[in-house]
Amino acid sequence: MPQFDHAFDWVRRNVADGPLPNAVLGVANADGVVALDAFGEASVDDHYPLFSITKPIVGLAALRLVEQGRLTPDTPLERALPGFGAGRDDVVRLRHLASHTSGIVEPPLDTPDGLRPSLLAPGRDFAAGTVSRYSTIAFEGIAALIEHASGAPWERAVDDVAGRADASGLTFDAGASPHAPVDAAAQSLDYARFAALRHPGAGLLGRAADLLALGSALLRNDGAVVAPVTASAMLRPLTAGLPKLEPYPASRGQDWGFTWNLRHSAPGLLTTDTFGHGGWAGTEFWVTPSLGVCFVLLTNLGGGFGRFGVDADELHNAVAAAA
C-alpha cells in the first residue's frame, strides 16, 4: 500500500474534512488487488450503489452476444421493440444506445412512468448519430436487445459477465448496501423509487473487490470477459467529431466508446489511454492499460463530489504516478 499512499491520503482527507461521508478505495493490477482500504463508517467488503458504472458492465453483456453472432453494433432497437421510433425518421441502433448518440428523450433517473414506457415515449432529442448527449434511458434499449437476442432476462447476461470476472457480489438488490446515497432527496432523487426500477443504466450495486476483479480481467485481456478483438473494438471512439452537449462537452477531452468513457484528451490527466466510468454518487472505476493499473472509489454522496469543487483528477493522477 505505501506505493499508493498519496491516493489513499487523498481519500482520507476528503472523508475526514468532507464532503465524502465514507469511502472505499482499491487499486489492482493484472494479477489482482494490490491495495484496498476503507474510510469512515465503512468496510472494504461493503456494497455500494454503483449508479452509472452499471453502464459498461451491461455493455460487456451486450458485447458477449455480439461475439456469439446474435447482435452487431448496427442492430436496430426496433428489432427488439417493434413499437419503438414511431414518428422518427431515423434508425436507432445498438451503437447509438451504447455511445449516447440515440437521441432518445431522457426521463429522470427515478421516473415514475417506468423504464420501458419512458423508452417508448414519442419524440426525440436529435437524430441518431448526429450529436452526443449523455443518456441513461438508452440502456433500457440495450437491455431489450439483450433479452431479444438471448431469449432470457437481461440480468442473466449481466450475471454471466460477473461470473467470468469473478465479481460475484454484483447485485440489483439495494438492500445489500448499508450506504444509501446521502443527500439524494436534496439532489432530486427518490432513491427508493429509483432502486425499485433495477435500472440497466444505473442500478447495480457492488463491492470494491467486484470492480477490481473486472478491472484486473480487462488488464489481462485474456478473453475471460470478452475476446481481445472485442476489447479493442469497445475502446474505439464512437463520438469523434460529433457535437458534444452538456454534461460532457468537447472541452472535457473525452469520447464514448462502446459504453466506456475514453478520457484520451482530458486536460487534467497525466494519462491518455484511461477508460472507465463514474457514477452519480461519486463512484469511480478507471483502467489504464499502459500502466497496468485500475482503481475503484466507492462512496455515497448524492450528486457526486464535483458539486463541492473536489477534483477527481487529483486521485487519477496520484494512482497513475504511483503505478
Kindly list the structural domains of the chain, giving each domain's residue range(s) and its CATH number in brackets, ordered by start.
2-322 (3.40.710.10)
The whole-angstrom separation of Cα 269 and Cα 315 is 10
The whole-angstrom separation of Cα 247 and Cα 252 is 9
Mean model confidence pLDDT for the chain: 97
pTM for the model stands at 0.98
47: which 3 cell numbers? 456494497
Residue 150's Cβ-side half-sphere holds a number of Cα atoms within 13 Å equal to: 21
The whole-angstrom separation of Cα 137 and Cα 259 is 13
Q: What is the pLDDT of residues 222-264, one digit of tens each?
A: 999 999 999 999 999 999 999 999 999 999 999 999 999 999 9
Give mean pLDDT, residues 303-314. 94
Q: What is the pLDDT of residues 109-127, one digit of tens each?
A: 999 999 999 999 999 999 9
Contact between residue 191 and residue 301 where contact means Cβ atoms under 8 Å apart: no
* Confidence bin at 2 (pLDDT 50/70/90): confident
The whole-angstrom separation of Cα 187 and Cα 257 is 29
- Which residues are 55's β-sheet partners? none
Q: What is the pLDDT of residues 37-86, one digit of tens each?
A: 999 999 999 999 999 999 999 999 999 999 999 999 999 999 999 989 88
The pLDDT assigned to 1 comes to 56
The pLDDT assigned to 86 comes to 87
| Cell 483528477, located at residue | 313
Angle between helices 154-164 and 54-67 (to 10 degrees): 90
